[in-house]
Structure 1
Amino acid sequence: MDGDYVIGGSFAIHYYMHTVKHNYTILPEPLRCTGSMDSRELRFARAMTFAVEEINNSTELLPGIKLGYKIYDSCASVPVAAHVAFQLSNGPEPVFYPGENCSQSGMVVAVVGSSGSTPSISVSRIIGSLNIPQVSHFSTCACLSDKQQYPNFFRTIPSDQFQADALAKLVKHFGWTWIGAVRSDSDYGNNGMASFLNAARKEGICVEYSESFYRTNPQSKVQRVANVIRRSTALVVVAFLASGDMKILLEELSLKPSPPRQWIGSESWVTAPEMLSYSFCAGAIGFGIQKSVIPGFRDFLLDLSPTEVALSPLLTEFWEGAFKCRLGKNAAEDDSVCDGTEDIQTLKSPYTDTSYLRISNMVYKAVYAIAHAIHNAVCENRNATIQCDTFTRADSQQILTQLKKVNFSKNGYHVSFDANGDPVALYELVNWQRGESGSMELVTVGHYDASLPVGKEFHISRNVSWMGTRTQVPVSVCTNSCPKGTRKVLQKGKPICCYDCVPCPEGEISNATDSSDCFPCPKEFWPNKERNTCFPKPVEFLSFNEVLGIILATFSVGGASLAIITAAVFLRHRNTPIVRANNSELSFLLLFSLTLCFLCSLTFIGAPSEWSCMLRHTAFGITFVLCISCVLGKTIVVLMAFRATLPGSNVMKWFGPPQQRLTVVFFTFIQVLICTIWLIRSPPFPVKNLTIYKERIILECALGSAVGFWAVLGYIGLLAVFCFVLAILARKLPDNFNEAKLITFSMLIFCAVWITFIPAYVSSPGKFTVAVEIFAILASSFGLILCIFAPKCFIILFKPEKNTKKHLMNK
């Protein structure tokens, strides 16, 4: 249709180009399209003519100016699209103008199209040098946003960059980390899939395979892609395919049943009504352009008279294909002739289906965007009336400049372009669901708005139907999630989504699924058995409530009681010869010190505190020195007593009772002095030992100064050795009188116990260190009381006849 300003149109009404054979002897035949017609694309072309006629009938937009159009079939092919671009630039007239200025009478002011990214790239490179703006309704390749390469390109459909990001977020939202990818081997598929894979990688999604093909490839290539899908372990397939390519792939997959797959589709095919016939893709989900309503458009589509159909080769082909008849002159003898009774109102076809106007609205908005640009270039508002300059023709450069500024709304849909010529990205999340009749239906289940803040762009508003008959979200992962208490270890040579689940090392936890690392518990905490939570470590010390503590406490109290009973026996028989002969004063002092030795072991049982730590070591050191001092005094008395029997000896006057008391006090005072210095300089203190056992805390007393501790023990050992040596010297004295042999045995036991104690003390872990120390105290104490006092008590209680001066003096 002619007009004051002519708009070009390029639509892929057919999907194949006739293969031209070149023999280089004659002029090649013209390019032409073949194959079946895509009635959906015909509807897009008719949407352009509808919009032009609607604008021409408007009194507000371009009043007094008539728009025309030139619409071509690009066959979804680059050679044909390039040929169309030249026709739109020059006009079809084979006329040469010899003048200096080329005529622009055949040039269109703008172009709507094409229906694919690759043809659009070819058209843009050709008409871009002439500054002819191009507004595409269906070219989504993100590469077309590059204004350095395509300065004249605009589109009313969002860029694939937005769709790729949305698809990656969709896959991540449902927890799919192991997917397959199929794409068209074209600018649309390759660039779109590259954007998706980049976005998916950022979301931690892995791709098992990435295959590409084009509808003109050999059938063997399509079969190979189909077999890869059938053999794959990934249940989710992301298909960035043009609808024509997707149709070929689904045809191939339908020949041989394959395991169910969850299809994720790009808007090119997932909203195409003709695809819904492939029922094995039930549950497919993807993003589509928003549904819309164009008032009067359906009536326009159905208002086709036989005369109008006959004038257009495309409409004729559509009519004959839809009704399976031939129009007049095209009919052969055996063909069914169209008799005029065909009713397009009853036709079930993508051409007449206006229930989901998505891309048709993109065409409609593209035409209106161009019209607004022309309006802004030649019209102005004067005194509330619009006046347009019908004499001066605006060139394509002016239209291009104004197109960048358009900002309007039509039928409630906003139209504007950003600096890259892209609109705001708005998508519907569509799902293939079975209707009540069993047929497949497109159901909108959510929305995506790229203009919203990060994290809020994606919204699902209703239930989604999944592949097959599943009601639950299918799981598509290379490896199942690692539970808490484990960490991921990547499998060598495989993507990051393929890993093994390894339990956390000792002392570490992971409290989240799919944790890439384990974390150590705080110092005083330890993992539970599952290694997913840290609990406070159990505190361990030698307690009065446990069996070992009770046994040691019982022996301690029993030993003290035994010492007290012995003292009572000695006190009751204090005037008997055996008691009088064994230095009763030192004996009672020894029994008193032994009682303290037994009782001081109780300070080692129970939770350590500052006072108990200081008391247990000092009390132990002082009481034992008091005990050994008494034994030493008794030993010296025995030796001196027999030395005093020699003629002229007055030794006993130097070792009488006062000297004995002084000896005990002197030796004990030295230990008291050592303990005092130890407590002042670096006393023992309670600590939490975290090194012996990793899983529990040992409460114990730190020595403070190790020198002080070993000085106390060393002093006790020195006295014990000295006493032992003296007892050995006195061991051959008459048995009936002296107790030198008894002291020798007791010192032998004492020294053996404490010599054994040292390695046992150093090597015993935790509370057993304390138990070893208590055992050494009790063993040495029992050794003393039993060796020194048991024989005497036995004579006093059971052999009183031997408790006489005569018996003691008998040789």
Structure 2
Amino acid sequence: MKDSLQVKYQYYQPGEVNIGGIASQFFSFFEGADFTKHPDLKSDVVPLVMLKKYQHVLSLAFAVKEINENHKILPNLTLGLHVYDSHFDAQITYQNTLNLLFSQKMTILNYNCDMQKNPVAVIGGLDSETSLHIATILVLYKIPQITYCLYAPTTSDVTERSSLYRMVPSEMHQYTGMVKLLHHFQWKWVGIMAMGDDKGEKFVQTLEDLFSQNDICIAFTRRMPIQSNILDVVNFYDSFMNITTTLIESTAKVCLVSADAHMMLDLQVALNLHASGSMVLLNKVWVMTAHWDFSMEPFVQYLDTQVFHGALSFAIHSTEVHPFQNFLRIQNPHSEGDGFIRVFWEQAFSCLFPNTEQGIENRKICTGEEKLESLPGPIFERSMTSQSYSIYNAIYVVAHAFHAMYSSRTKPVAVPQYFQLHRFLSGVSFNNSAGDEISLDQKGELRAGFDIVNWVTFPNNSFLKVKVGRMDPQASLDRQFFIDANIITWQTQFNEAVPLSLCNEPCNPGYSRQKKEGQPFCCYACARCPEGKISNEQDMNDCTKCPEYQYPNKERNECLLKDLNFLSYKEPLGISLMILALSLSVVTTFVFGIFIKHRNTPIVKANNRDLSYSLLTSLLLCFLCSLLFIGQPHLITCLLRQTGFGIIFSVAVSSVLAKTLTVVLAFMVTKPDSKIRKWVGKRFASTVVLCCSFIQAAICTVWLCVSPPFPERNMNLLPEEIVVECNEGSANMFYFLLGYLGFLALVSFLVAFLARKLPDTFNEAKFITFSMLVFCSVWVSFVPTYLSTKGKYMATVEIFSILASSTGILGCIFFPKCYIIILRPKLNSKEQLKRK
């Protein structure tokens, strides 16, 4: 029986306690098995090296070296290290995992003649597939596995989940960080790229679910085709061209990439193929997952790193370990324990060692004096990458756990039961040499966050990694995500401004989003807010109404405070009406004074002098009661406005009616044997005034008892003002009041009209007819005008009607008499009366 593959590439450092490792730095050219024939033996030819991944092996060796030199950890034991490579191939991963456990030239399961090489734990692998292949074997022997892959293997694929520990935070923290990053920059129109495998599908589906919950739309989703080995990329030319065309034509400025090694290699090849010999430049912001370490391999020709200038990536939180750079300087390609360094050296420096199995014609000879620090950053970094930092901490986790287990024993055991290490791994917690606290949670995941890194590239293929933010799930809710946009370098096409990635221009304040049929919800039209509503932010789904005490401005992007609307003494209209009312009051008082002064003259005594006094008094009060309608309404003014006006006007119109009836009855009394003589006199006139006024007073009393007026702030009557008004309580009672006044005025008008031609020098009937005609005309036009106005103009209309109707009565009845009294006193005599 022979193994299908005897791997010569390995790193071995003996020790009393051995730690195994499965690295992922080689791509080998193997044909996949199709199960139609017995598979050929895989030959261990010289592989292609993912050069930056060699640092993972060196970080393992460096951590072991530090621990062995530290007398506080395992002081009586030395750590050993045995590392194989996965070659990104399932069969080789299984083979090399078995080689770690049963290290003979021929692998015989469950048989090991060299117990010193038996590992207490295994570090690996780089991706979830490799980690799953390793776990499938290690779980059978209960050997702890510490992986540094970002995506965890599916729990159902591992028989015993407790055997797997992860030196990375939960991947959900990275998804959450991506959403927060997109929200921070208001990027709502993005593309997604991933490998077309289960891991890529999980990446896409998780983001799709999160994006739908957070108002982010996916412009495109592209999956890279899976190849059985690296040489298959040439068979996917059409697929790569289609993917690159999508990237170029898409309006999305942001592209999220599940940036594992295969994905980034394919993406670089796709961009290179499309540009026919030079990398096509895209005005895209690349947002990479924490797999990415910006590597450039020698076999990717004409690679232009400028395409990734300004990219943002998540990275497992790391701190610079300065002694690591000194460790790199002492690396020697002739090291006997490191079986990886020679092939790395040859491909990194493009040279061959003299004793190589390959031909050395036209090739530079490797001297071994080349310096790692001379290699450009995309090929090899001197500072420890985030993945190397995770591997470095993984060694320390195993060492601290084993130290705790070893210290807990009262007696040394020749062959320790390494499955007991699990309970010490679960609670491990320490501070590493860089000062970071390292601990695992109950799920076996690292309690840590992600750094957000901005990648700045230069034409000479050098680059800078600038930490611009942090996603820390351990922090308080308001500090879990932080990013400093001021120190981010963007692609030159964006002119150093934060790029926008939207399906369309945002809707400005004053507009709301309107869905486009058949388009994603991030693609929309902008509709102006309807009257009465505003939007004060960009991209609002709907406009909102202002509070009752506010109104929208013309742009409909802000609510302004409404002014109070009432007829004020301070505004010109209020001042004018007040002056007019007071002036008419003065005129009425002046007329009253004339009548009192000439009270014994015939023209004053005619038609009942007391009725004239009563009418003048009521007219004076009518002019003054109009002032109740000016100023901000209060409870007292609201109660007195209409009721006072109604009762006072009823007295005035009743006095006019009594005057008219007095004229008629006076002529009827002169007839012989008149039976109504007893009704003529002051008592009759007073009875008419009191009875008519009492009815109006009764209407007002019922009104005040049933539904009295009250002050009210009407928020909705006018769009930009709060109308401070008197709510009439019962509008019907108000119209009953007006109707009764109209009835009295109409009766007065009819009686006066019939008596207008009676022979009398001082007959008032014709003047009363004109006064009642004016009165009725004013109040008939008042009703439609009052109902068609709003706010303070309703009070204005009523004041005008009060003043106009009162002035009509005053002018038509009293001004002719005043004219005679003052200017034609000769007509004011008994002789003139008898002559007529």
Q: TM-score, normalised by structure 2?
A: 0.82
AA aligned to 2:665 is M
CA distance in 1, matches of 2:771, 2:376: 116
AA aligned to 2:173 is F
CA distance in 1, matches of 2:762, 2:324: 138
Instruction: Report the alpha carbon displacement of residue 620 of structure 1 after superposing the two structures with TM.
Output: 2.4
Instruction: Check if 1:604 corresponds to 2:633.
Output: no
> Structure 2 vs 1, CA of residues 707 and 647 (structure 1 numbering), >3 Å: closer, same or farther?
same
Instruction: Check if 1:126 corresponds to 2:151.
Output: no
CA distance in 2, matches of 1:590, 1:690: 41
> Structure 2 vs 1, CA of residues 376 and 581 (structure 1 numbering), >3 Å: closer, same or farther?
closer
> Structure 2 vs 1, CA of residues 659 and 543 (structure 1 numbering), >3 Å: closer, same or farther?
same
Instruction: Report the alpha carbon displacement of residue 14 of structure 1 after superposing the two structures with TM.
Output: 1.9
Tell me what 2:222 maps to. 211
Tell me what 2:238 maps to. 220
SS state at 1:455 partner: helix
Tell me what 1:37 maps to. 49
Tell me what 2:490 maps to. 466
Instruction: Check if 1:619 corresponds to 2:644.
Output: yes
SS state at 1:268 partner: coil
Tell me what 2:354 maps to. 327
> Structure 2 vs 1, CA of residues 494 and 809 (structure 1 numbering), >3 Å: closer, same or farther?
same
Report matched runs for 1:749-768 at 5 Å: 749-768=774-793
Deviates more, 1:148-157 or 1:436-445: 436-445
Given candidates 231, 239, 247, the residue that maps to 1:229 is 247
Instruction: Report the alpha carbon displacement of residue 28 of structure 1 after superposing the two structures with TM.
Output: 1.4
> Structure 2 vs 1, CA of residues 273 and 726 (structure 1 numbering), >3 Å: closer, same or farther?
same
> Structure 2 vs 1, CA of residues 292 and 540 (structure 1 numbering), >3 Å: closer, same or farther?
closer
> Structure 2 vs 1, CA of residues 421 and 746 (structure 1 numbering), >3 Å: closer, same or farther?
closer
Instruction: Report the alpha carbon displacement of residue 141 of structure 1 after superposing the two structures with TM.
Output: 0.6
Show structure 1 runs of 5+ residues with no match.
none
CA distance in 1, matches of 2:759, 2:531: 67
SS state at 1:692 partner: strand
Instruction: Check if 1:293 corresponds to 2:305.
Output: no
Instruction: Report the alpha carbon displacement of residue 269 of structure 1 after superposing the two structures with TM.
Output: 1.7
> Structure 2 vs 1, CA of residues 642 and 38 (structure 1 numbering), >3 Å: closer, same or farther?
closer
Given candidates 523, 529, 545, the residue that maps to 2:548 is 523
SS state at 1:608 partner: coil
Instruction: Report the alpha carbon displacement of residue 670 of structure 1 after superposing the two structures with TM.
Output: 4.8
CA distance in 2, matches of 1:607, 1:343: 94
Tell me what 1:72 maps to. 84
Tell me what 1:163 maps to. 174
Tell me what 1:103 maps to. 111
Tell me what 2:307 maps to. 280
Given candidates 236, 248, 271, the residue that maps to 1:253 is 271
Tell me what 1:304 maps to. 332
Given candidates 463, 473, 476, the residue that maps to 1:453 is 476
> Structure 2 vs 1, CA of residues 59 and 602 (structure 1 numbering), >3 Å: closer, same or farther?
closer
Deviates more, 1:726-735 or 1:283-292: 726-735
Given candidates 669, 684, 709, the residue that maps to 2:709 is 684
Q: Is the 8 A contact 2:333 2:341 kept in 1?
A: no
Tell me what 1:262 maps to. 285
CA distance in 2, matches of 1:536, 1:21: 78
CA distance in 2, matches of 1:657, 1:380: 127
Tell me what 2:799 maps to. 774
> Structure 2 vs 1, CA of residues 40 and 558 (structure 1 numbering), >3 Å: closer, same or farther?
closer
CA distance in 1, matches of 2:583, 2:269: 96
Tell me what 1:19 maps to. 31
Per-residue displacement from partner, 1:128-178 (whole Å, max 9, x unpaired)? 2332332224x1113457776644222333343333333333333333333
Per-residue displacement from partner, 1:480-537 (whole Å, max 9, x unpaired)? 5554555444444444444445454444445555444544444333344444554442
Instruction: Report the alpha carbon displacement of residue 723 of structure 1 after superposing the two structures with TM.
Output: 2.9
SS state at 1:745 partner: helix
Instruction: Check if 1:362 corresponds to 2:390.
Output: yes
> Structure 2 vs 1, CA of residues 780 and 201 (structure 1 numbering), >3 Å: closer, same or farther?
closer
Given candidates 213, 234, 243, the residue that maps to 2:261 is 243
CA distance in 1, matches of 2:538, 2:739: 58
Identity %: 33
CA distance in 2, matches of 1:803, 1:661: 26
> Structure 2 vs 1, CA of residues 652 and 433 (structure 1 numbering), >3 Å: closer, same or farther?
same
Per-residue displacement from partner, 1:749-800 (whole Å, max 9, x unpaired)? 4334334434444444333333333333333333333433444455556666
SS state at 1:129 partner: helix
Q: Is the 8 A contact 2:566 2:792 kept in 1?
A: yes
AA aligned to 1:319 is E
SS state at 1:780 partner: helix
AA aligned to 2:146 is V
SS state at 1:619 partner: helix
SS state at 1:180 partner: strand
Tell me what 2:94 maps to. 82
> Structure 2 vs 1, CA of residues 739 and 381 (structure 1 numbering), >3 Å: closer, same or farther?
closer
CA distance in 2, matches of 1:642, 1:320: 139
Per-residue displacement from partner, 1:332-384 (whole Å, max 9, x unpaired)? 473547475754467526787422354334334434444555555567677xx
Tell me what 2:767 maps to. 742
CA distance in 2, matches of 1:207, 1:90: 49
Instruction: Check if 1:141 corresponds to 2:138.
Output: no
> Structure 2 vs 1, CA of residues 27 and 721 (structure 1 numbering), >3 Å: closer, same or farther?
closer
Tell me what 2:444 maps to. 421
AA aligned to 1:282 is H
CA distance in 1, matches of 2:644, 2:538: 56
AA aligned to 2:150 is T
CA distance in 2, matches of 1:300, 1:666: 119
Deviates more, 1:166-175 or 1:26-35: 26-35
Instruction: Check if 1:693 corresponds to 2:721.
Output: no
Report matched runs for 1:516-595 at 5 Å: 516-567=541-592, 578-595=603-620
> Structure 2 vs 1, CA of residues 439 and 60 (structure 1 numbering), >3 Å: closer, same or farther?
closer
Deviates more, 1:360-369 or 1:692-701: 360-369
SS state at 1:18 partner: coil
Q: Is the 8 A contact 1:635 1:727 kept in 2?
A: yes
Instruction: Report the alpha carbon displacement of residue 278 of structure 1 after superposing the two structures with TM.
Output: 0.3
CA distance in 1, matches of 2:368, 2:341: 20
SS state at 2:465 partner: strand
> Structure 2 vs 1, CA of residues 654 and 375 (structure 1 numbering), >3 Å: closer, same or farther?
closer
Q: TM-score, normalised by structure 1?
A: 0.85
Report the number of matched residues. 799
CA distance in 1, matches of 2:292, 2:796: 81
> Structure 2 vs 1, CA of residues 17 and 166 (structure 1 numbering), >3 Å: closer, same or farther?
farther
Q: Is the 8 A contact 2:131 2:153 kept in 1?
A: no
Deviates more, 1:507-516 or 1:239-248: 507-516
CA distance in 1, matches of 2:797, 2:69: 109
Q: Is the 8 A contact 2:431 2:438 kept in 1?
A: yes
Instruction: Report the alpha carbon displacement of residue 662 of structure 1 after superposing the two structures with TM.
Output: 4.6
CA distance in 1, matches of 2:614, 2:327: 126
Tell me what 1:181 maps to. 192
Instruction: Check if 1:318 corresponds to 2:341.
Output: no
Show structure 2 runs of 5+ residues with no match.
1-11, 228-232
Q: Is the 8 A contact 2:430 2:438 kept in 1?
A: yes
SS state at 2:455 partner: strand
SS state at 2:487 partner: coil
